[in-house]
Amino acid sequence: MSKGPVVILTALNLEYQAVHRKLASPQAHLHERGTRFEVGTAQGTSCRVALGLTSKGNHSAAVIAERAIQEFSPTAVLFVGVAGALWDATRLGDVVVASHVYAYHGGTSEDDGLKARPRVWEAPHGIIQLALHLDRLGDWADSASGQEHAPQVRFGAIAAGEIVQNSRVSAEATWIRQHYNDALAIEMEAAGVAQAGHLNGAPVAIIRGISDRADGTKNSTDDRNWQPQAAANAAAFAIRLAVELAGEQEETVVHRDDSVPSADRLDRHVTNTAHNSTVGIMAGSVTGSSVRMNTAPEEPEPLNLFAALHGFRDSLTRHRAEGDLDQDTYREASADLESAIRSAGEHTSDASKRAAMTLRRLRGLVVECPALMAELAPLIAAAGDRA
């Protein structure tokens, strides 16, 4: 899994705004070809999210998804928005997480009719497992949504085509039921995003809120009322998933050095190879010519937090020059670091608490750089000890 932010893409501005409302301090990020993203953090967390708008259709979604993957090297790509339900069992407002995506317009036209030749992309196993876990926890939905029934999360196939499907009785609707009767929802972007993720090695999850039943009621008053709620439900689950994905990535970075022996395992073996010499040593035990020495770790000198933070500033600048951090991340990280330095210089308990909180936020910004994460860990610990 990559070390970048979680990318969230939407096709409609209504869907974009539903995600945007859940971000703190979003900052514009302009791609060299003009695509505009906003990068912020999920509110109350250090999870970085890069939000982008693709517009409608699989082709546009594929291009923007690939552009986002190349730009951010994301932990994952989540495509979030509304969709039509193909079966009555899926209620309006429910969220569908794609177990796999059908590009259902692939086929061949023959004398006896149209034969299906779909492309299919399965969702990454780890993401589906995590999504199932979050569904079981049941704490992802907005409590103030005002819905009569709490939205449910459903897992199954999503069909992605090139037309707006708004009928249950048309020839196209009949054909879809014949060939893709396990699909829970239908929309127009998932296939493009799934293909972009496949070609670039990026994990992709498709998360859709059900706003209509693809039965002729699209664009009705009921549909217009449900669209904002369905988009909000999809955004709520997507943000919850993004936070967990970022947390797993951070744990992976922090525990990367677990193979280093701990202090209580620093027992050393010494063998006497100087056969005609005397060896003087304080040992825990001696067997033959082998000596076991129980070595207690030396007490480390107290960390000078103020000086260490100034040293971290140099490391931050160096990693930016080496390309490990993009300019936006470097700018935000530098601002947090300067705030932490000012707090550390005040030598009060409240100031130390502020420094520790700022450094934890800074950790979320540099999670894509393991070297900086490793250097930052003892600084956060030192600030906490002083608080």
Please give the pLDDT value at position 286. 53
SS3 182: coil
pLDDT tens by residue, 161-202: 888 887 776 878 888 888 888 999 999 999 999 999 999 999
Ranking 129-138, 168-177, 273-282, 307-316 by mean pLDDT, the lowest is 273-282
Residue burial 258-287, b: 16+ Cβ < 10 Å; e: rest: eeeeeeeeeeeeeeeeeeeeeeeeeeeeee
Q: What is the mean pLDDT of residues 253-258?
A: 53
Amino acid making up residue 334: S
d(CA 349, CA 371): 29
Evaluate if residue 71 carries a pLDDT over 90: yes
The pair of structure tokens assigned to 131 is 């999504």
Best CA proximity match to 11, nearest among 208, 245, 225, 201: 208
pLDDT tens by residue, 137-161: 999 998 766 667 789 999 999 999 8
Q: What is the mean pLDDT of residues 347-366?
A: 80
Amino acid making up residue 59: H
Best CA proximity match to 21, nearest among 200, 198, 236, 167: 236
Read off the pLDDT band of 377 (50, 70, 90): confident
Domains of the chain, residue spans: 6-253, 305-386
Average pLDDT, the chain: 84
Evaluate if residue 368 carries a pLDDT over 90: no
| Residue 53 vs residue 262, higher pLDDT | 53
Q: What is the mean pLDDT of residues 298-303?
A: 62
Please give the pLDDT value at position 233. 97
| Residue 327 vs residue 82, higher pLDDT | 82
Please give the pLDDT value at position 267. 46
The pair of structure tokens assigned to 163 is 């037309």
pLDDT tens by residue, 204-255: 999 999 998 877 777 667 767 899 999 999 999 999 999 999 988 776 655 5
* Percent of the chain with pLDDT strictly greater than 70: 82
CATH superfamily of 6-253: Nucleoside phosphorylase domain (3.40.50.1580)
| Residue 291 vs residue 364, higher pLDDT | 364
Looking up tokens 């100031």, which residue turns up?
Answer: 351
Evaluate if residue 378 carries a pLDDT over 80: yes
pTM: 0.65
Please give the pLDDT value at position 264. 46
Displacement of CA 121 from its chain's centroid (Å): 20
Please give the pLDDT value at position 299. 54
